[in-house]
Amino acid sequence: MTCPRARLTGRIVRPDDPDYAEASRGWDELFVHHPLVIVYAQQAQDVVNALTWARQHDVALRVRSGGHSLEGWSNVDNGIVIDVSELKSVRIDTTARTATVGAGLSQLEAVTALAKKNLAVTTGTEGSVGLSGATLGGGFGFLTRYLGMACDSLVGAEIVVPEGDDCAKVITTDLENHSDLLWALRGAGNGNFGIVTSLTYQLTPLASVTYLQAAWDGIGDLQEVFEAWQRTAPAADDRLGAQLEIRRNRILMFAVLADGTPAETKKVLAPVLSVGDPTITVRVGNWGDVYAAFQIPTEDEPANWKFCSQFTSTPFPRTAISVIASFMRDAPTDDSNFFTQAFGGAVRKSPRGGTSFPHRDALFYSEPGAGWGKRGVPGSGDELTPRAQAWIAEFSQALRPYVNGAYANVPNVGTQNWETAYWGDNFDRLRKIKAKYDPGNVFQYEQSIPPAFC
């Protein structure tokens, strides 16, 4: 099947346009790319046209939504970036408790729109991250133990896939149509099979939350805090979502209790809060208001980041916690951290139709992260880059005896056996689905899923 010559439509940005520098910059400024053209789709047909154009001109392509690809893989040199961030439609059916949203919504925009109707789905905690990217890689945050992974609530999607020799088409996937593709999109959908233009979620009522933050000065209490947290947070009331963040001069715990009270929240977390003398703040309110209040403006974040993702199935022994303390004391910047997210609860239950996300037995997720440099300043922090990257590599290597797997949404180009680290035993099935929907391997990048016959 051969198509008529395609013409790019939508909002087109080329290298000689005044907004090209901003349009070609991702959230993680460690990675700099110079695409041939950036297409901001205004409707699904713009994506069809762009994908067809890329195939007809044999041009490398990448897909972008929130621009948070942590290895810069949503951008490309001398190729086309198909950006869906301006597809921001929202249709909420309060009777059926479903929402169909454009793939360009950020997590903050999605949380805000749903919370106005006292409804929710799982999202990550960073509001500027694209909702579609987070969901398609799995997606977890404060509501994970209550509602499951973000991909668990995904019940349908509109996606543009290759067709014939150089064409593209829109298909719809749900539990009855192309259900194999829906399974794949639930955990492995980022830039592997096609370009998602809209997503349909099953929603859950959520009237209010209690949000608690606790802070310990220094990291002298880390052994006791971490031990109490890992024994408490993954086994608590399923309504509780809890994160621990260790910096070189502070320990922070963040927790949300869905439809809970401050007294309930403090009682559930008492084993952790009783360690040392933390400063505790509590807020009760609509989930949208609470979520918006703890966002950090992007301009206040470091320009450059490097992460290593991992899962843990059994509690860390004291030696592992000592490794964290040792590396955090030697962190390259104050913005560097060791972050955790409690699993358990609803994560252990796979939704109808299943998902390709394999890490459901994890006790918690964690990642060392290094942040450095000043946003918008080319080359900022270059002198720190070797140290920050070495620190992450050595930190992750030191934790290797205590962790397993990796998270597709937080990739690392150096991850060994990344195929099974991200997707476990699901990788072979994903390759077969790839061969069905993208047999020509049009969608490829450094750690993309190859078709089964490659």
CATH number (domain holding residue 178): 3.30.465.10
In a domain, 262, yes or no: yes
Q: What is the pLDDT of residues 438-450, one digit of tens each?
A: 999 999 999 999 9
| 330 in any annotated domain | yes
State yes or no: pLDDT of 454 exceeds 60.
no
DSSP class of 425:
G
Q: Band the pLDDT of 2: cuts 50, 70, 90.
A: confident
Residues 305 and 218 in one domain: yes
For 25-97, strand residue ranges (E) read 37-40, 61-64, 80-83, 90-93
| Residue 60 DSSP symbol | -
User: Quick one: 184 and 279 in the same domain?
Assistant: no
Helix (H, G, I), strand (E, B) or coil at 255: strand
Query: Which band of pLDDT confidence, cut at 50, 70 and 90, is reported for residue 221?
Result: very high
Is there a domain that residue 409 lies in?
A: no
Mean pLDDT on 91-110: 98
Are residue 242 and residue 277 in the same domain, yes or no? Answer: yes
Task: Return the CATH number at 62.
Answer: 3.30.43.10
The 10s digit of each residue's pLDDT in 267-322 is: 999 999 999 999 999 999 999 999 999 999 999 999 999 999 999 999 999 999 99
**What single-letter amino acid sits at 235?**
A
The range of the structural domain enclosing residue 159 comes to 90-205+424-437
Check if the beta carbon of residue 127 is closer than 8 Å to that of residue 291: yes
Same domain, 229 and 310: yes
Do residues 178 and 224 both lie within one domain? Answer: no
Which phi and psi angles does 349 have, rounded to 5°?
-105, 120
Same domain for 54 and 105, yes or no, is no
- For the entire predicted model, the pTM comes to 0.97
* pLDDT over 90 at 453, yes or no: no
CB of 305 closer than 8 Å to CB of 283: no
Cα 79 to Cα 33, 39, 66, 150, 268: the distances in Å are 10, 11, 19, 31, 51
**Are residues 237 and 371 part of one domain?**
yes
CATH of the domain at 328: 3.40.462.20
- Clarify whether residues 54 and 132 are in a common domain: no
Is residue 372 one of the residues assigned to a domain?
Answer: yes
Position 64 in a domain? yes
> Is residue 363 pLDDT above 80, yes or no?
yes
How many angstroms separate the CA atoms of 287 and 258, rounded?
A: 9
Please report, for residues 125, 139, 147, 348, the alpha-carbon distance to residue 120 in angstroms, rounded to integers and kept in the order given: 13, 14, 9, 19
Average pLDDT over residues 323-350: 97
Q: How confident is the model at residue 176 (pLDDT cuts 50, 70, 90)?
A: very high
Tell me, yes or no, whether 128 and 235 share the same domain.
no
Number of domains in the chain: 3
Co-location of 391 and 254 in the same domain: yes
Q: How many CB atoms lie within 10 A of CB 272?
A: 24
Q: Are residues 253 and 319 in the same domain?
A: yes
Q: Which two tokens stand for residue 293?
A: 């209040």
Amino acid at 343: F
pLDDT digits (tens, 9 = 90+) for 58-78: 999 999 999 999 999 999 999
Residue after which a domain boundary falls, among 43, 68, 83: 83
Beta bridge partners of 157: 173, 199
Q: In Å, how far are 3, 4, 141, 203, 243 from 58, measured between CA atoms?
A: 14, 15, 39, 41, 45
What tens digit of pLDDT does each residue of 12-62 get? 999 999 999 999 999 999 999 999 999 999 999 999 999 999 999 999 999
Asked whether residue 166 carries a pLDDT value surpassing 90, the answer given is yes
Tokens standing for residue 194: 């096609």
Maximum pairwise Cα distance, the chain? 69
Q: Is the pLDDT of residue 1 over 90?
A: no
Backbone angles phi, psi at 451, to 5 degrees: -60, 155
Exposed/middle/buried for residue 355 (C-beta within 10 Å: 0-12, 13-18, 19+): buried
221 Cβ neighbours under 8 A, 6+ residues apart: 251, 275, 276
Cα–Cα distance list, 240 to 12, 256, 271 (Å): 44, 6, 14
How far apart CA 181 and CA 160 sit, in angstroms, is 12
Is 416 part of a structural domain of the chain?
Answer: no
Angle, CA of 74, 201 and 292, to the nearest 5°: 70
Tokens of 364: 């918690």
The H or E element that residue 398 is part of is helix 385-399
Q: How confident is the model at residue 7 (pLDDT cuts 50, 70, 90)?
A: very high
Of the residues 29, 50, 83, the one at which a domain ends: 83
Tokens 């078709």, residue? 451
Confidence of residue 144 (pLDDT cuts 50, 70, 90): very high
pLDDT given at position 128: 97
Cβ atoms of 306 and 331 closer than 8 Å? no
* Residue 139 confidence (pLDDT): 98
DSSP 312-353: ESSPPPHHHHHHHHHHHHT-SSTT-EEEEEE--GGGGSPPTT
Mean pLDDT rounded to a whole number for the chain = 97
Percent of the chain with pLDDT over 90: 98
Going edge to edge, which strands form the sheet with 61-64? Answer: 11-13, 37-40, 80-83, 61-64
- Confirm whether 333 is domain-assigned: yes
Same domain for 172 and 294, yes or no, is: no
Using the Cα atoms of residue 341, residue 346, residue 351 and residue 354 in order, give the sign of their dihedral. Answer: positive
Last residue of a domain, one of 31, 60, 83: 83
Task: Please report whether residue 406 resides in a domain.
Answer: no
Residues 392, 309 contacting (CB under 8 angstroms): no
